[in-house]
Amino acid sequence: MASLPSYQDAVSADWVRLVTPYISPNDFAALCRVNRHFWEIFAPRIWGRLLGTSSDRLAGRDSEHDLDWLVGTVLGQLGQTRSETASLVRVLDTRFIRGTCSLTMANQLNASLKNAIRYLPNLNCVLIDGHEDLDPSEFLSEAGRQVQLLSMADCPLSLSTKSISSLQGLVYLDLSRISGSIRPLLQSGTLPELRILKLQGKEVDDAAVENLANCFGTRLWSLDLEDNKLTDAALYHLGTRCMCPADLRSDARLDVEGKLEFGSTSPIFGTSIRIIESDWSGSFSHPNRHLADAPSYDVHDTLPQEHLLKRLDGRDRIKCDSANAVCRGLQGEDPYLPPSSFQGSQGLTHLNLSGNQISSLGAVQLLTHCRGHLQSFSCDSMLLIPSSKAVAAAWPKMVKLHGFCAAWTLRPLFSSNLRVINLKEATWTLTYGWTGSQPASEFG
């Protein structure tokens, strides 16, 4: 909640809003005709998201004619819609619209979308994942800072450099598995408001990650680089340039968690770290180990508590970086987080590196560099040791060893804010690849 309600607002809840979650959406249109108060409550629920789910289509409609229905019935009628009603539309979601169209109709569809944006002054989220006929470079050419979320994963057409430079208000961008280079994203001054970037399956390598880290720094709080060509070398740039420099780790909870002791620094192995255990921490048996952190106070602090950089206390919900969650958050529909929490950033907190050539040693170095700020980390099928010529010479080519042997880096003492972790095949796994017809087998 951005601000506290007045006493009158707190003790006099609107009964209509209380019962709204229990009313069938099929009744919203009829309720809008009761009076102005009902219209203000139910009209945004009808018009807020265009084509949000497959149920938004008329019952019994053949999905092959969805595009005809979209162009003729939905987009074609916006010019005749009251401006007050059109201003309620904030989300355009075509992910559930299916069917094919000719080149002529594709051009008409993009022209209709471009024209529709002129009638929708408050439209700020566009989701067109998997559509072959939509060209965002064409229909978003005049959107400017209006659009804050653009999800176009699996679209065959990429964003042009001109289009990217015109979408300066983007907070969320998903370009997963689409053609084209990420070089337009790395231009100086491009996408200053971007906070969530998803680049799955884009052939991104270590050099591209270095450029990305130099370009965005700590502006991003979520980065998805699944199924690319990354090695441990990329993690150094992410850890040193994209993470908040402040260290959340401390020995303030020595009895419960132990404390860290930092030793000398090596150019190869980095800074040596060991854990000094208390009587309780080594066995994870302290009576208070499941309690939320108490507020920290310091006589030298001059900022309000909510502005101090401190580790999460374990009670607050973690932000979700999915398209649907960010879309709800930007609309102010998240009951726990205001829109500003999705638009601000102090560095990476959500990172997905699954499907790359990352080793467990690289993951340990990353968790060390992040200084406790990572909240969500995914990196499945990690190699136990980095690939190298020496390893290739001593290890059979048909055998791969996966594993993660540094569980201590996942403790709250070391990874202070880590709430979601995905390390599939985290135990030692030998994978044998056979050249014959017999299928490969795994032993864990």
In the structure encoding, which two tokens stand for residue 149, read together? 């979320």
Q: Residue 131 has what pLDDT?
A: 81
In the structure encoding, which two tokens stand for residue 290, read together? 């499941």
Going from the C-alpha of 333 to that of each of 90, 123, 412, the distances in angstroms are 12, 15, 31
| Nearest residue to 232 (alpha-carbon basis) of 108, 338, 358 | 358
Q: Residue 271 has what pLDDT?
A: 72
Domains of the chain and CATH, by start: 14-220 (3.80.10.10), 249-296 (no CATH)
Q: Residue 22 has what pLDDT?
A: 92
For 250-306, write each residue's pLDDT tens digit: 888 888 888 888 877 776 666 778 888 888 888 888 888 877 777 766 656 555 555
For 39-66, write each residue's pLDDT tens digit: 999 999 999 988 755 444 444 455 556 6
In the structure encoding, which two tokens stand for residue 214, read together? 């130099």
Strands of 232-349 (E only): list them: 259-266, 270-276
Count of Cβ atoms closer than 10 Å to residue 375 Cβ: 23
Q: Residue 435 has what pLDDT?
A: 37
Cα–Cα dist 166/353, whole Å: 29
pLDDT > 80? residue 171: yes
Radius of gyration of the chain (CA): 25
Cβ–Cβ under 8 Å, residues 26 and 56: no
The sign of the dihedral angle between the CA atoms of 410, 411, 412, 415 is negative
pTM of the model as a whole: 0.85
Cα–Cα dist 411/282, whole Å: 11
| Nearest residue to 94 (alpha-carbon basis) of 130, 43, 41 | 130
Q: What is the DSSP string of 379-392?
A: --S-BSS---HHHH
Highest mean pLDDT among 3-12, 129-138, 296-305: 129-138
For 342-378, write each residue's pLDDT tens digit: 999 999 999 999 999 999 889 988 998 888 999 999 9
Q: How many residues does the chain have?
A: 444
